[in-house]
Structure 1
Amino acid sequence: MNSLPNLEDLNIFVQVAKRASFAAVAEQLGMSAAFISKRVRLLEQQMGVRLLHRTTRRVSLSEEGERVYQWAQQIFDTVQRMGDDISAQHREPVGQLRVASSLGLGRRFVAPALSELAERYPQLDIRLDVHDRLVDLIEEGVDLDVRVGNAIAAHLIAKPLARNRRVLCAAPEYLRRRGTPRQLAELSSHDCLVIKERDHPFGVWQLQGPQGEQSVRVTGGLSTNHGEVAHQWCLDGRGILLRSYWDVHDSLADGRLVQVLEDYHQAADIWAVYTSPLASSAKVRVAVEFLRQYFAERYSLPGAD
């Protein structure tokens, strides 16, 4: 190796190693897969070793690549901690803040909240990614995940933003046509609009009721990974929907939807989740407090303390 590796290329290599895909990293960074591959090849030439095994189907680390990856991880983790430590000394948060959320919650609440946060703290460089899956905060370099659902891994720090639950609802026209279910088991004979949630198995509704937690497997002719699509299908009378109260409360209030099986719900509070190394980060601390106030001013669950 004739010189120190280019840190930008080294970071690209680390991302490829994590994702095992040039295309995934290219999409993440807004670059072409050919450019990503070229930068890794330049790094290999500079270091004089092959870092990756490439086939038409997959990318994997070579023995030397594994060693470089481990060292690079330590380097970038140290740089991140340095930045967080310096940021913590500032009264004003600075630097990049990467936030993840689900599709519906991200659009409805998180995106406008971050827009206001950026206006208040212009030294923050905020990026929001929305997903229909839970993100790996460490592997994907996410600072803060705003998520719905109470199943949170023990190694993560979770701060409550708002009380929430998912409720069962349907359009009056659907209930006139198919009847109103009176018992949970009757859902299996109804058309149910199934959403691929980030925190629950697909096609199984786990609900809290008078007899504790119960599960029911549901099916229907329509399913999606986008809550707004399912909400519209429900308004169109296509089936019964299990959806967060924050998303359907307007439709319930104006009578376009009717809550069914009101004794049953799914706990789905809204949380700000981050890793312990970021606990002292000014940018994360400010973002969490801002989001907590934002939700408090704009969303209230009936019956919540």
Structure 2
Amino acid sequence: MDWLSAAKSFILTAEYGSFTQAAEELNISSSAVSKRIDWLEKQMGQSLLIRTTRHVQLSEAGHLLLPKAQALIAQFDHILEHSQEVNKTPSGTLKIAATLAVGNSLLMPSIQAFLAQYPQIKIQLNVLAPGTLPDLHHDLVITRHYNEFDSVAHKGTCLLEYQMKLFASPCYLQRHSAIKSVDDLAGHKMLLSSYYQKKGHIMLSDNSIFTFKDYNFVSDHLDAMLEAAIQGMGLMLISAGYIHKQLQEGTLVPVLPHVKSANKQLWAYYPNSAFIPIKTRLFIDHLKQQLATQHTL
């Protein structure tokens, strides 16, 4: 028995909540997984899992060990991958997490071009809930920059800067009172993401605070938000980079073009390791190039 195999078994069992699913992932028997974790618990001198007939849960000690075990395995995998990279075609699975808006509008065009260039790499794109902090389950987490996020477990790099502006459908503007200043917004409904609905405000470029006092629709699904805006349900605060098509078609138009949010940043976060996997480095470089040449948020 060794620490690495025991740690991998523990991590997968904790993630799946099942010895059987962990065993399937590792291609070993459930009893072998159980023996590995029993060995790890003896080494730790503590019970790491709470076992029931239906489910497996982490004990208090297990909750404390899990992130450390994940970091250990990630470090080992990165070192192993780094040692195998010399004269090797980039391959393997790159796990990426991003919000629906970022994934659909920004990542998919870049992913298509990246996979065409590196056909032996596979990409798994998972949905990230807005406001969720980066985790160690993914090779890359693409999200807004968090000033309050300070983790020794992650590194990060800025992909681009952007500002958010107000947009509405022509039919909405025809049916409602004219909007000539920020003060006029008080009589209008907003369409908000769950993040801004909870936050309740946004800082503007002039350092003033715009408060979301009235809203009638909250969603983290970009398609639903766009449809709501096009149908004339309210005003939408979004980066123009997400709505190129709607602006070209005229289904959405700017409202108070001079009003914009303070500068924001889109970042790529990845596990803090001595060796960054080549597929991670290649995708970050590719994405930066694509965003710089094709997108203006």
Q: TM-score range by the shorter chain?
A: 0.7 to 0.9
| Alignment match of 2:77 (pick from 75, 80, 85) | 80
Pairing 1:127–2:124 present: yes
Pairing 1:251–2:249 present: no
1:111 is displaced (CA, Å) by 2.6
Q: How does 1:7-156 map to 2 (within 5 A)?
A: 7=5, 10-15=7-12, 17=14, 22=17, 41=34, 43-44=36-37, 50-54=47-51, 59-61=57-59, 63=61, 65=62, 69=66, 72-73=69-70, 75-86=72-83, 89-90=86-87, 92-137=89-134, 139-149=135-145, 151=147, 153-155=149-151, 156=154
Pairing 1:223–2:218 present: yes
1:120 is displaced (CA, Å) by 1.6
* TM-score, normalization by structure 2: 0.77
Look up the match of 2:232.
237
Supply the distance in 2 between the matched residues of 1:255 and 1:288 (Cα, whole angstroms). Answer: 33
Supply the distance in 1 between the matched residues of 2:122 and 2:76 (Cα, whole angstroms). Answer: 17
Q: Deviations over 1:200-245 (max 9, x none)?
A: 5636231324x42313123322211112211111000110011121
1:286 is displaced (CA, Å) by 0.9
Supply the distance in 1 between the matched residues of 2:167 and 2:225 (Cα, whole angstroms). Answer: 11
Q: Deviations over 1:94-151 (max 9, x none)?
A: 33321111102202231332233223223323221122234544x4421112224564
Distance 1:145 1:116, change over 3 A: same
Supply the distance in 2 between the matched residues of 1:67 and 1:297 (Cα, whole angstroms). Answer: 44
Deviates more, 1:261-270 or 1:150-159: 150-159
* TM-score, normalization by structure 1: 0.75
Look up the match of 2:180.
182
RMSD (Å), alpha carbons: 3.8
Query: Would the aligned equivalents of 2:101 and 2:221 in 1 still touch at CA under 8 Å?
Result: yes
1:75 is displaced (CA, Å) by 4.5
Q: Secondary structure at the match of 2:138?
A: coil
| Alignment match of 1:192 (pick from 190, 193, 198) | 190
Supply the distance in 2 between the matched residues of 1:148 and 1:126 (Cα, whole angstroms). Answer: 21
Deviates more, 1:165-174 or 1:71-80: 71-80
Q: Which runs of 5+ in 1 are unaligned?
A: none
Q: Which runs of 5+ in 2 are unaligned?
A: none
Supply the distance in 2 between the matched residues of 1:78 and 1:299 (Cα, whole angstroms). Answer: 34
Q: Secondary structure at the match of 2:164?
A: strand
Distance 1:85 1:166, change over 3 A: same
Distance 1:5 1:85, change over 3 A: closer
